[in-house]
Structure 1
């Protein structure tokens, strides 16, 4: 049947200065950022102009590409589309964070709605904390709930904190296998506490710890490759922390958002600004949190300003030297993680020999419980050794990584495994390399 030409999309492409071929190329590029391999031809984009509608996730990727190019949010209506991914929650910062948290967590436990969580697209254009949120003075906690029923108390905060430690420990093997359990806990245990009558200080404490649980779950989604849902959880955590006037947790949330964007390949001034916001909110936080935000500020500055990156590195190391040994996923910062981030900054600055030293220190300082971080550090060590021409130590680290891989439930680990193949192909005439590629091949055909 004849279709109606999509004039809205045509006008947007004209404003962007893009041809259908350029749109197809940009969609493939954004898809690759999110771990998706899509075949989109210019003829496909021309059919969209003729009135055919792309299906998810391509529709969401199309909207993200145009939003980035035009510097404003492009909706499905703006682009003349009707098959954009369904929205599980309102993405606006102003939307009720407790309602959003309930909707997202319940979607994970509902088989019919769970598919929607993987249909979204990570939107770099929606990363920044709104100016009015950053500039506002602390306005106090959200109003404590009123009504009948059991009052929430300090013992509820203690219970939530204990479960935060439990889920953080379980995440050390990767987030895929544990995220449904944490979503169920948030939906059925944590979020209902926020609606119970409580004293102001108790309600604020519940908001803060729930924000930390949401941060953990967001990172588990990111580690599972569901980046749009991860961003939603990170934003919810930031909003809950802001409403509780908990600037320390807000700083951690903003840093987590900046890290997630950086890991997806976004090194733009907007992401740098997010890292700067995190560092400002951490101004009065404990030294561990200040070192945590400052070191990532160095990582992002390395893409923009060498002097600022070196200054941030020095500042993070100074702060870390003053950090007491304090347990807890949101009160401590592992030394191995600090040196891993140092290596990221140094590699971006072009000093790969110093990055190798930092990664070696990072691996040495990893604790026995840091299973996934240690494995990822080994993979990065192997890549860096090979870049410097050291094939033998690279093979040693990659063999250990492959030994560990079956115990991990992580998209990042999957990416490291496929990355190893790309790095090793030029050396496959070596018997040791050929054997390692054979071992990797046992997994790469059925990546989870």
Structure 2
């Protein structure tokens, strides 16, 4: 026996429509959608209320009917009819600003509700090709467009919250606070995108929304929720384009490049980093440029292009020499010596250059220690440990590995946990050595806690 669809029943009662009226509106909307064969009656509506799930595209048509009636977004999920194509929609770089707003709002609601379909959706290896191309073309040749009327005070409130959440990520890891941020975005930010604004306010609001949507994606990425992260990042890129801020869009592409490389697609990571650098040609953010070169180096190292990777590291360091911290945007706060030297250490680790990896790892560790950044410290200690293993110095590697474990236990970050797992795998060639056994036992305790 089917369960009654209480969600649909509640929406219908709230609308004041009869079953017959709902059937007539569905038929009318179906004609607009070029689906004239869809012609329900009151009896069919009763079946839906009794738990029958209509075939596609009827759920989406019903959602459109209720959205029109109430004057705000109603989804198939709200009607108890599943999640429609939201997982796929999150991968689309839509030319429509209005459509983008609805997709990112739906994405945020699904994230807060912890709907399983979103977490289960796969990471699409080449999903960044179209979005990065469209962003780059529109960034290099875009004219302002007149937009509909929110106050700059509203935008300032949103931007002030960004600093709070970003520092939460930096010091506590992506698994700490992300759902709080998603809830804040759903309740306070995404609704603002639907309201009227002067053009300057609209751009500022899109910039603030893009920054925080990126942060949602980054926090999901750091917490190992890759499909969720990818969808947030693509929608953030679209909002960044709407803000007319090329540096912010390039920053989002850096995040996409980092994710692609981490998940075993260094060619895609390299291409995304290059697209970001090209988009920066008409703007200035030395920190972002340093990051993009840094991430390109990471990808090149995994592709085995040693000379090109070393060149990219040099370019990253040169770009960072021009950074003016007071002139950089808030989102660039994490792009500093602790971060860059840590990533350079990973580049040289993957190139098998143990001496250079150790040098950069130690520099990163020093900066991270002064800032009390446990996640960055854990990842750089892991790189240091690997450099010792590459020199066959198990005792030094074990000591650095223990420090990695201690720091990783202080944050909610799957990347820090994965760095520990990588270190475990690299210790296996040392067999049953007591230091290997000790580290394995300590790592098991961390994994259990995580």
The TM-score normalised by the length of structure 1 is: 0.73
CA drift of 1:93 comes to 1.1
- Matching of residue 413 in structure 1 with residue 412 in structure 2: no
Which residue in 1 is equivalent to 2:376? 373
How far the C-alpha of 1:87 sits from its partner, in A, is 3.9
Separation in 1 of the partners of 2:118 and 2:105? Answer: 14
Give 1:228 deviation, angstroms: 1.2
Secondary structure at the residue paired with 1:202?
helix
Which of 316, 339, 342 in structure 2 is aligned with 1:340? 342
Give the drift of 1:412.
1.3
- Looking at structure 1, the residues matched to 332 and 408 of structure 2 have their Cα atoms a distance apart, in angstroms, of 29
Deviation digits for residues 86-119 of structure 1, max 9, x if unmatched? Answer: 64351321262211110011112225xx212211
1:271, 1:432 → 2: CA distance?
36
For residues 425 and 85 of structure 1, do their structure 2 counterparts lie closer, same or farther at Cα, with a shift above 3 Å needed? farther
Greater C-alpha radius of gyration: 2
* 1:184 correspondence with 2:183: yes
Describe the shift of the 1:387–1:161 C-alpha distance in structure 2 as closer, same or farther (beyond 3 A).
same
Counterparts of 1:298 and 1:279 in 2: how far apart (Å)?
A: 13
Q: In the alignment, is the contact (CA less than 8 A) between 1:85 and 1:120 conserved in 2?
A: no
Q: CA deviation at 1:402?
A: 2.0
Deviation, 1:260, is 0.6
1:295 and 1:331 map into 2 onto residues whose CA distance is 14
| Matched residue count | 357
| Aligned CA distance change for structure 1 residues 313 and 213 (closer, same or farther; 3 Å) | same
Correspondence for 2:407: 404
2:206 is matched with 207
CA–CA distance in structure 1, aligned partners of residues 432 and 349 of structure 2? 28
Q: Partner of 1:97: helix, strand, or coil? A: helix
Q: Which residue of 2 aligns with 1:194?
A: 193
What secondary structure is seen at the aligned counterpart in 2 of 1:125? coil
- Is contact 2:342–2:376 with CA below 8 Å preserved after alignment? no
CA contact (8 A) 2:395 2:435 kept: no
* Residue 164 (str. 1) matches residue 162 (str. 2): yes
Corresponding position of 1:31: none
Distance in 2, Cα, partners of 1:346 & 1:442: 30
What 5-or-longer segments of structure 1 have no aligned partner?
Answer: 1-83, 147-151
* 388 and 143 in structure 1: CA distance in 2 versus 1, 3 angstrom threshold: farther
Task: Call closer, same or farther: CA 1:104–1:441 in 2, change over 3 Å.
Answer: same
Quick check: 1:392 aligned with 2:395? yes
Alignment gaps of 5+ in structure 2: 1-82
Aligned mates of 1:423, 1:318 — CA distance in 2? 32
Report the equivalent of 1:277.
Answer: 275
Name the counterpart of 1:25: none
User: Residue 300 in 1 paired to residue 299 in 2?
Assistant: yes
**Distance verdict in 2 for CA 1:417–1:133, change over 3 Å:** closer
How much is the aligned-residue C-alpha RMSD, in angstroms? 2.5
Q: In structure 1, what is the equivalent of residue 318 of structure 2?
A: 318
Alignment of 1:31-430 (within 5 A): 87-88=86-87, 90=89, 91-94=91-94, 96-111=99-114, 114-130=115-131, 131-136=133-138, 137-140=140-143, 143-146=146-149, 152-172=150-170, 173-268=172-267, 270-283=268-281, 284-302=283-301, 303=303, 305-326=305-326, 329-332=330-333, 333-366=335-368, 367-427=370-430, 429-430=432-433
Which structure has more helix as a fraction of its residues? 2
CA offset at residue 218 of structure 1? Answer: 0.4
More deviation in 211-220 or 347-356?
A: 347-356
Give the secondary structure class of the aligned counterpart of 1:175.
Answer: coil
How far apart, in 2, do the equivalents of 1:225 and 1:274 lie? 20
Tell me, in whole angstroms, the C-alpha distance in 2 between the residues paired with 1:319 and 1:432.
Answer: 41
Is the Cα–Cα contact under 8 Å of residues 291 and 317 in structure 1 kept in the other structure?
yes
Distance 2:186 2:329 in 1: 23
With normalisation by structure 2, the TM-score equals 0.73
**1:403/1:308 Cα in 2 relative to 1: closer, same or farther (>3 Å)?**
closer
Counterpart CA distance in 2 for 1:421 and 1:186 is: 38
Shift of 1:280: 1.0
Tell me how far apart the structure 2 counterparts of residues 315 and 339 of structure 1 sit (CA, whole Å). 13
Q: What residue number does 2:67 align with?
A: none
Partner SS, residue 121 of structure 2: coil
More displaced stretch, 227-236 vs 327-336: 327-336
